[in-house]
Amino acid sequence: MNIISIDPETNQQRILGKDARFWLVIIGIVAAILVALNLFLSFALVHISYNLGEQVPADKVELSITSSSGVTTHPMFLGSYAFIPRSTSTITAQTSNSQTVKTIASLPYFKIPAFNLTLQAQQTLSNQGSQTLGCNLVNSSGVFTHNCTSISEINKIDRPTNGMWGTVPERAGYQGDTYKRYKAGYLALQDPSLATPKDTNAPLRLEYTIPGGQTQFINLPKDFSQNTADNVAIVTDQANQATDAFVIANLSTGKFLYMPSWQQAATATAFSRTTQIDTKYTATLCTMSGTQLSCYYGPYQGSNDFESQQDYKKYQDYSRSHPGKLELTTLPSAQTAVYSIKNLDTADNIYQSTSTLYLQNHEKLYQLSIGKNADATLIAANVNHTGPSLDTLYYTAGDSLFQHLPSEQTTYLRFHSENLTALNPSIYGDQILLNSFINAPEGTELRTIASVYQLTPKKLPANQKHIQDILPYRDENLGIAFMDYDDTRIYISMQPVYSTDLQTGIRTINSAALKDRQNRIVEKLRQDALADNHQLIFR
């Protein structure tokens, strides 16, 4: 049979007995089906709506979507409906001072999902103290601050009634490079290999310090760590300070010690990581919630297996085909379940807020959904620090504080001020602390002051500014040397006004001019409605 023939009447070519127009129609239909199929597989029709919560000013609301790779675009809307790529991981609604982000794990194929975003008013911050050192802790004894890389020195926030607010030393001279928050204080490792003189026979000591309280020590078994803190990690429940249990992990050997409480530390249960974990997974990150230990295992480029140049391609291939495992261990029975991690090749950090696990890879934060696998869903793309709490996770990103509520699959902006860089959320019960720098012009003393703020439940009234948006004053013509404040007091240190006798060069304080300067500052505070509801302390 000829595939191509000539129609004797029309003299036109026929294919399989059909004329060309027929085939053109067929090709067109097939192409249209393929295009439609591609659109169907690549895009989803969704319904997006928003509403303004209490005290959120009526303002233009901007909607945007962010892909799993972190690219943000604005979808085209037909009324409240929009076609969005199936790779979309978040939908964001924002106004000039509020922002709500909905997380999308997956989009259904045969249903139009509806997403409603509620914009909420920001909360306010209460200044708890100044001259902080980067990381802070609050407990029943007060607010404490230390360098984030160590607890070898801890200062207590000091706010005398009439004096300048600052810090006083709480303790100093300890080792404390390896530490973790635990209950009202810290667990830390005292490394005998760092002692002077070096004592290689001494056991590794575990320290429990409660700032404002006691410091106690126990010795770890000598065969656990070869008497060095290298590659030893402390794992505690970061979200719940009521949890007594903790784990000490030797990341090199995969050995763990489970301690049901500090008091029962001597009766530790030893166990090892499961044999299902690849020995090439040298990156080990652990967290715990209650008595569940959660560990991420993944390949690490700097490990012995992959460090050399010729091995780099091997590492790349390996990490793509073996992107990491999540091991959940129930304690003290040490029963384990291992899950493959999907949608994420490597991770730097792991967090847990009671029932929800998060992984961070550089600045990207993912939530894990545990099913057959551990599926990672992008939540935020430029995260600085996180603070897990009960059933929620606070994080700082782009100088702002956000709260992720896994139960709602939603993130809310809780605080933003152009004048503050919000960092290092630190949680104790329902107290959320932030370490913050004042964004002041370079070279001014204001820039050097780091402070600790507490997030309050009070909502920012519509069309009002945060006090952090106003203070400290940046107008150098006011002649302010330094300014600090809390909820009830404003502390002002004025630059002196000098009078120089041009005949003798002798310099004195011009008290009258200084009084004028003080009056101008008070007037400015009055204009900003801050003079009458604060005690003004001039120094």
| Residue list 412-451, contact with other proteins (CB under 8 A) | 421, 423-424, 435, 437, 442-443, 445, 447-450
425 near 419, Cβ under 8 Å?
A: no
Query: Which of the stretches 25-33, 40-48, 296-304, 324-332 binds other proteins when contact is defined by CB under 8 A?
Result: 296-304
Query: Which residue in this structure is represented by tokens 């295992």?
Result: 297
- In angstroms, what is the minimal distance from the CB of 196 to other proteins? 16
Which lies closer to other proteins via its Cβ, residue 117 or residue 450? 450
Binding mask 252-291 for other proteins (x = CB under 8 A): ------------------------------xxxxx-----
Q: Which of 42, 49, 149, 267 binds other proteins (CB under 8 A)?
A: 149
Does 198 interact with other proteins (rule: CB under 8 A)?
Answer: no
Q: Is the peptide bond before 472 cis (omega within 30 degrees of 0)?
A: yes
Listed residue (413, 383, 454) closest to 404, CA to CA: 413
Listed residue (379, 334, 415) closest to 123, CA to CA: 415
Phi (first) and psi of residue 424, to 5 degrees:
50, 65
Under rule CB under 8 A, which residues in 317-356 are in contact with other proteins?
348-349
Query: Which of the stretches 42-50, 102-110, 145-153, 333-341 binds other proteins when contact is defined by CB under 8 A?
Result: 145-153
Length of the chain: 539
198 near 188, Cβ under 8 Å?
A: no
Under rule CB under 8 A, which residues in 151-180 are in contact with other proteins?
164, 177-178
Largest CA distance in the chain: 123
Under rule CB under 8 A, which residues in 89-118 are in contact with other proteins?
none
The two beta strands, 43-52 and 356-361, are unpaired
How many Cβ atoms are within 10 Å of 78's Cβ, its own excluded? 8
Which lies closer to other proteins via its Cβ, residue 115 or residue 297? 297
Query: Which of the stretches 43-51, 83-91, 299-307, 323-331 binds other proteins when contact is defined by CB under 8 A?
Result: 299-307
Query: Cα–Cα distance between 391 and 383 in angstroms, integer?
Result: 19
Radius of gyration of the chain from Cα atoms? 30
- In angstroms, what is the minimal distance from the CB of 140 to other proteins? 25
Q: Which of 56, 93, 104, 133 binds other proteins (CB under 8 A)?
A: 133
- In angstroms, what is the minimal distance from the CB of 307 to other proteins? 4
Q: Which of 481, 515, 519, 529 binds other proteins (CB under 8 A)?
A: 481
- In angstroms, what is the minimal distance from the CB of 315 to other proteins? 8
Q: Which of 64, 373, 479, 536 binds other proteins (CB under 8 A)?
A: 479
Sequence-distant contacts of 71-79: CB under 8 A, at least 24 apart: 75/48, 77/48
The two beta strands, 43-52 and 114-119, are parallel
Query: Cα–Cα distance between 447 and 323 in angstroms, integer?
Result: 42
Under rule CB under 8 A, which residues in 486-525 are in contact with other proteins?
493-498, 500, 502, 504-509, 517
- In angstroms, what is the minimal distance from the CB of 137 to other proteins? 15
Cross-strand bridge partners of residue 82: 46, 77
Q: Which of 317, 476, 523, 528 binds other proteins (CB under 8 A)?
A: 476
Which lies closer to other proteins via its Cβ, residue 50 or residue 246? 246
Q: Is the peptide bond before 203 cis (omega within 30 degrees of 0)?
A: no
Within its chain, how far is the Cα of 519 from the centroid?
43
Q: What are the residues whose beta carbons fall under 8 Å from the beta carbon of 505, sequence distance 6 or more?
A: none
Binding mask 361-400 for other proteins (x = CB under 8 A): -xx--------------------xx---------------
The two beta strands, 292-298 and 283-289, are antiparallel
Which lies closer to other proteins via its Cβ, residue 458 or residue 515? 515
How many Cβ atoms are within 10 Å of 225's Cβ, its own excluded? 24
> What DSSP element (H or E) covers 118?
strand 114-119
Which lies closer to other proteins via its Cβ, residue 117 or residue 129? 129
Read off the tokens for 479: 């002649």
- In angstroms, what is the minimal distance from the CB of 519 to other proteins? 13
Which lies closer to other proteins via its Cβ, residue 229 or residue 359? 229
Query: Which of the stretches 29-37, 89-97, 213-221, 295-303 binds other proteins when contact is defined by CB under 8 A?
Result: 295-303
> What DSSP element (H or E) covers 163?
none
Binding mask 205-244 for other proteins (x = CB under 8 A): ------------------------xxxxx-----------
- In angstroms, what is the minimal distance from the CB of 160 to other proteins? 13
